[in-house]
Structure 1
Amino acid sequence: MSIIEPDSLLSVPTGALQIPELPPSTVDAGSENILLSLVIPTYKERDNIKNVVRILSQLLDESIPGNYELIVVDDDSPDRTWEVAESLTREYRQLRVMRRQNERGLSSAVIRGWQAARGRVLGVIDGDLQHPPEVLTQLLRAIQKGADMAVASRHVDGGGVSSWSFIRRFLSRGAQLLGLIILPDVLGRVSDPMSGYFMVRRSSIAGATLNPVGYKILLEVIGRGKVREIAEVGYVFCERVKGESKVTSKQYIDYIHHLVRLRLGTGRLGKISQRINFPVGRFLRFGLVGLSGVFVDMTLLYLLSDPSTLALPLTRSKIIAGEIAIINNFLWNDVWTFADVSSGQYEWRQRMKRFLKFNIICLAGLVLNVLVLNLVFNFIIQNRYIANLIAIAVATVWNFWVNLKLSWRVTQVK
């Protein structure tokens, strides 16, 4: 196993969230032959990280000495967790540290860590000691016996939670039931789909394009990977001793969003999308956002152009209504349709850059819209509203395809 320089940080991978089939090349060719790469995603875990690294290192040194690596992936914590972790590399030579400054989110942090990993088996564990480290050896043993994935579960023999309130238990079970309704083929394979503590063979997810939302990366790996046999190991989820909890209502919203996205991406629509090489699910979301824009557009067109209201010229009214609808559509597309990109490009300058691109493309679409509107209204159907709907449909296809290729893509990294 190669030794990294104490003052070095891992480069943050960019581009698609795909795990390579082979580990990335390193200075020491022999370092590629590592059994386990365990990623520890962190954010404001300064008080915990030393203890986590110490305990995990002692445990793995006993079970697979010299055949593992720990990868701390920190989302540029304001308490400088990454700096504390980096200082530990002098003592723990198997430790590697990545500091992300242009992306956020636990799931994408795990994937970026896996992209830099050198192990044949990829794992993840929380950085707050709520996942008992001693379960690692049981998970690894299950993989070595032939499983493609080993999941630590609170809902099998030996599992449970230490001191959850009734409300938190109810929400957890309710989220699982909702998932079984929306995505039974994925959630039905494990007893604890909300688990964030598991291992998977690199070969089972290599090449798959992952597109996670929020914290629940396990769903993404099962849904998009080639995972055949899954083993489960019971564990007791412990309350954190230090640091602050990351559980918020947004996690549950992200979870539902993730379920819907996986359903669209892995169901019949997903198969059609792959067959014709067109992102059908994303286009449907774009279309739903467009419907909200239609409401804005049609309402303003009426208020501005109808003889009973302001009675402005049709073309001028259409331009004003269309521009306001563009702003509405951009905001929704940025937080929903293309959330996987915008979440990693979150700074206001990057968002403004996307808006300017979106606006220019949609203004070109607006010109197309106006031309179609006038052609249909003057030569085919003399009903301003039906003509406007036809014009909107034509412009929607244009706007989606060009924005997909130009507006929402990773273009700026540090």
Structure 2
Amino acid sequence: MTYTDALIPVPVGPLQVGAAADSSAPLIQFSLIVPTYNESKNVAKIVKQLTELLDDCLPGDYELILVDDNSPDKTWQIAQALTPHYPQLRVMRRETERGLSSAVIRGWQVARGNILGVIDADLQHPPEILIQLLKQIQNGADLAVASRHVEGGGVSEWSFIRRFLSRGAQVLGLLIVPNVVGRVSDPMSGYFMVHRSAIAGPCLNPMGYKILLEVIGRGRVETIGEVGYVFQEREEGESKVTWQHYLTYLGHLVRLRSRGRIARLRRQFPVGRFLRFGIVGLSGVFVDMAVLYLLSDPSTLGWGLTRSKIVAAEIAILNNFLWNDAWTFADIAQAQKGWNARIKRFLKFNTICLAGLVLNVLLLNFLFNVVFGQQHRYLANLIAIAVVTLWNFWVNFKLSWRVTQIKK
């Protein structure tokens, strides 16, 4: 049995990546981990595609490490049978541990490369994006992430529910650990590569299958590059994403937050865009105030305060969206032409702002009824608007102008 067709012994102990590869074999530039579970129908295809791609750009200077969690469909066995034909392929069979994140780290622990990567085996991650990710690392990035939410990115066929859950998970992350989740446009991505030096040393403790959060939160990641990619639908096999994964993801966010190992936010704050957003928001204040006066003042219609506020805020939201779409985020909107794309942007913008409206209404009533008294309704309204402004900017900046649906 040769070096290439033997199963790799599974490391034991803490999930900790060494500063240098612990191997008698020569060091290489790139190690790509392919975690698998019941991927027998896809494994030959993904190995073939990856090998053809990497043989061209890194001949003899890479390895593929397939880490299988003892799949009932014998994925590991099929992969092992491929090793005589693919000298760069190595296979690990884990019989006692489970989980995508820990599988990736176990693979990194035996890897010989200075650059460590991960890609799914289900063919939903286009292999050709690896070349662009490698260029990001070679140009100085500590971490290169394939993102569905930057230029060139998208998803092929996602239901409304799946989109909603994905966006909701990202918003939760922004609220709980903003200095981790806010550093990348697609924190749910499972397709990335990282320089070994950026994660060597710390004991990693991931939960579920979103290992990127752990890499950013506990690693020494200074510079991050992002590359757009289109997330494909499965050709073979079944999706492994369940409700339990979303609950585990939430637990992971809480763990990162509670332990305080949050990487510092070093992305440049978008000052120019924020100022434009603020100017637009100011115009919305005048719209909001004017409509609130017309609806609620005793000398006009005399509606109740809460009902008047809801109508006034919705009209102000429409005003703000039109100006933001035409000015604040014009560069992004121009790349997403058509009424369908504009309507989707508005619905997301409106949903985020309506969440802010709930906070706004609660705060307004508190200030109006408890703090200032009924003689200062407009001051209370102005303060409520100011408090919600940061929410609206931050979440809209991250989500609203990131339309990802594409044509098949």
TM-score by length of 2: 0.63
* Structure 1 residues 38-78: Cα deviation after superposition (integer angstroms, max 9, x where no partner): 00000000000000000000000001100000000000000
* Structure 1 residues 113-137: Cα deviation after superposition (integer angstroms, max 9, x where no partner): 0000000000000011100000000
Deviating beyond 4 angstroms after TM superposition, the runs of 4 or more aligned structure 1 residues are none
8 Å Cα contact 1:6/1:89 also seen in 2: yes
In 2, distance between residues paired with 1:4 and 1:260? 45
Sequence identity, in percent?
65
* Structure 1 residues 369-390: Cα deviation after superposition (integer angstroms, max 9, x where no partner): xxxxxxxxxxxxxxxxxxxxxx
Match of 1:172 in 2: 166
In 1, distance between residues paired with 2:112 and 2:76? 20
* Pair 1:182–1:142, CA change in 2 (3 A): same
Q: Which amino acid aligns with 2:10?
A: V
Match of 2:241 in 1: 247
SS of 2:42's equivalent? helix
Cα deviation for residue 178 of structure 1 reads 0.4
Match of 1:127 in 2: 121
Cα deviation for residue 4 of structure 1 reads 4.5
8 Å Cα contact 2:17/2:105 also seen in 1: yes
The counterpart of 2:147, out of the listed 143, 153, 165, is 153
Q: Which amino acid aligns with 2:118?
A: V
Match of 2:209 in 1: 215
The counterpart of 1:116, out of the listed 110, 119, 123, is 110
Match of 1:18 in 2: 16
Q: Number of residue pairs matched? A: 262
8 Å Cα contact 2:32/2:64 also seen in 1: yes
Structure 2 residue 74 is the aligned partner of structure 1 residue 76: no
Match of 2:352 in 1: none
The counterpart of 2:56, out of the listed 54, 62, 65, is 62
Q: Which amino acid aligns with 1:5?
A: Y
How well do the aligned residues superpose, as a CA RMSD in angstroms?
1.2
In 2, distance between residues paired with 1:211 and 1:92? 32
In 2, distance between residues paired with 1:236 and 1:52? 17
Match of 1:188 in 2: 182
In 1, distance between residues paired with 2:161 and 2:239? 16
In 1, distance between residues paired with 2:40 and 2:138? 33
Match of 2:334 in 1: none
Cα deviation for residue 6 of structure 1 reads 5.0
- Unpaired runs of 5+ in structure 1? 269-414
Match of 1:316 in 2: none
Cα deviation for residue 265 of structure 1 reads 1.7
In 2, distance between residues paired with 1:105 and 1:45? 14
8 Å Cα contact 1:6/1:87 also seen in 2: no
8 Å Cα contact 2:4/2:90 also seen in 1: no
- Unpaired runs of 5+ in structure 2? 263-408
8 Å Cα contact 1:4/1:96 also seen in 2: no
* Structure 1 residues 259-297: Cα deviation after superposition (integer angstroms, max 9, x where no partner): 0011112259xxxxxxxxxxxxxxxxxxxxxxxxxxxxx
Cα deviation for residue 247 of structure 1 reads 1.0
8 Å Cα contact 1:23/1:32 also seen in 2: no
SS of 1:151's equivalent? strand
8 Å Cα contact 2:4/2:89 also seen in 1: no
In 2, distance between residues paired with 1:135 and 1:177? 26
In 2, distance between residues paired with 1:64 and 1:96? 17
Match of 2:29 in 1: 35
8 Å Cα contact 1:124/1:197 also seen in 2: yes
Match of 1:262 in 2: 256
